[in-house]
Structure 1
């Protein structure tokens, strides 16, 4: 399969899964295994195309971001609380990511870890959906300092491939009493600093290995992931509002079991 088609396929996978609680990194790793790609060859690419999905969030919520940006400099309390909560939730990932970055990179090539994480995460979603007691907090700015820090700590679990950053943050927020819609939006907005930071760090660490052709592939993958993520985010909120997260939990369990069977039969 040509490398340009590979870039497009991985861009589609990234866009489809980045903001769903199913683990985009896990799916990208499984895709490389299933289609016979060199996992090490595409590992950096998989991280580098994340800005495409991030841009989809910026476009969809551009008015909110602009209001928060301008409000912050006007010292508007809502804007200040919004920025504060995102930063509080972001910092734990920065600290642990810098401390354990090399160990995380090793796990990015292990498809078995992904499969088990999908299964365990699926059952965790079902438990949270069943027992979490949530309250409509009215938006990310109204999430408490304590809840924000706890969401940031839970997000660190997503350093294990297959756990799902969005799944960890959304279900973590719900476990701490945040309503579904606010939890989902908190996860979306938290993706901006988290995924941007991870992308910049990886591109800087591996800058000598990236060629001009790689940059072209990254651009194509990012564009594809942007278009797909833009459509997925809108559909995701509609599904969650009506059906909750159970459909994604069962998908994770089925996909994880199927992956384990396939990996065992190779």
Structure 2
């Protein structure tokens, strides 16, 4: 029962923070340390419950995914004036290649309190710089994105391979630096996060097959369900917030979280 309660708590944290620029991984590591939920199985759990957040995005953006799928099945990869398959491929390619090459290193060396502490601070600094860059917005909506902007956002997404940096934090910051609005960059982040997170979870489950047992299934499923329900609410709320809330506030929160990390987990 205690582990199921821990799974629910961590699932809620994942759902709340996955698509906010505050680092879901940082929160999960901090919460895991506080709850005593650690070890190889716990590391895999923290990755797998991201699937709940993925399912939330699939449900909320189902028409967009269906439109992309129909175009791809009809071999209509390039659609002028509309988000198309080429945008998605360009945005995914950098992180997929780098993530495949560094997956083992990342899980072994970067999924810890100290590396996350550094990335929380670095990500916050990037967000402040991006917000103050004052670049002219050339893509107010997701369908306005150019291929160059999609590739650029994909390159910034590579920073999210460093746990604690935050996928949405790095891609929204990159979008602002490339002339994309916060809203468009956030929604594009949601779309491209689906294949990335599905792939990462599948790879991690395969590599962790020797440490997982059937008894873990209820814990994983409960955490995934909690993540899904909360992420549904969080995504809608965040899209409404991002239109009027400055990134600097999220950056300041990250600095506060880094301080908590240092005094509670590291010091």
1:187 aligns with 2:178: no
Contact 2:52-2:227 at 8 Å conserved across structures: yes
Scaled by the length of structure 2, the TM-score of the pair is 0.92
Contact 1:107-1:160 at 8 Å conserved across structures: no
> What do the CA deviations read for 1:158-217 (whole angstroms, capped 9, x no partner)?
111111111111111111111111101111101011101100111111123221222221
Larger mean CA deviation between 255-264 and 219-228 belongs to 255-264
Q: Corresponding residue for 1:221? A: 223
Contact 1:72-1:79 at 8 Å conserved across structures: no
Residues in 2 aligned to 1:93 and 1:14: alpha-carbon distance in whole angstroms: 21
1:67 aligns with 2:67: yes
Partner-residue secondary structure (3-state), 1:137: coil
Alpha-carbon deviation of 1:240? 1.2
Alpha-carbon deviation of 1:120? 2.2
Partner-residue secondary structure (3-state), 1:216: helix
2:145 to 143, 146, 152: 143
Q: Corresponding residue for 2:210? A: 208
> What do the CA deviations read for 1:62-108 (whole angstroms, capped 9, x no partner)?
12222332244343725985221111111111211121112101234
Residues in 1 aligned to 2:111 and 2:138: alpha-carbon distance in whole angstroms: 39
Q: Corresponding residue for 1:178? A: 180
1:38 aligns with 2:38: yes
Pairs aligned (count): 265
Alpha-carbon deviation of 1:19? 0.3
1:3 aligns with 2:30: no
Segments of structure 1 that go 5 or more residues without pairing to the other structure are none
Scaled by the length of structure 1, the TM-score of the pair is 0.93
Contact 1:68-1:79 at 8 Å conserved across structures: no
Where do residues 7-156 of structure 1 align in structure 2 (5 Å cutoff)?
7-74=7-74, 75=76, 77-78=79-80, 81-156=83-158
Residues in 2 aligned to 1:264 and 1:214: alpha-carbon distance in whole angstroms: 29
Partner-residue secondary structure (3-state), 2:215: helix
Contact 2:111-2:163 at 8 Å conserved across structures: no
Residues in 1 aligned to 2:83 and 2:225: alpha-carbon distance in whole angstroms: 32
> What do the CA deviations read for 1:218-248 (whole angstroms, capped 9, x no partner)?
1111110000000011111111111222221
Partner-residue secondary structure (3-state), 2:244: helix
- TM-aligned CA distance change 1:46 to 1:108, over 3 Å: farther
1:243 to 237, 245, 251: 245
- TM-aligned CA distance change 1:65 to 1:264, over 3 Å: closer
Alpha-carbon deviation of 1:60? 0.9
Structure number with higher helix proportion: 1
Contact 2:156-2:170 at 8 Å conserved across structures: yes
Residues in 2 aligned to 1:78 and 1:214: alpha-carbon distance in whole angstroms: 47
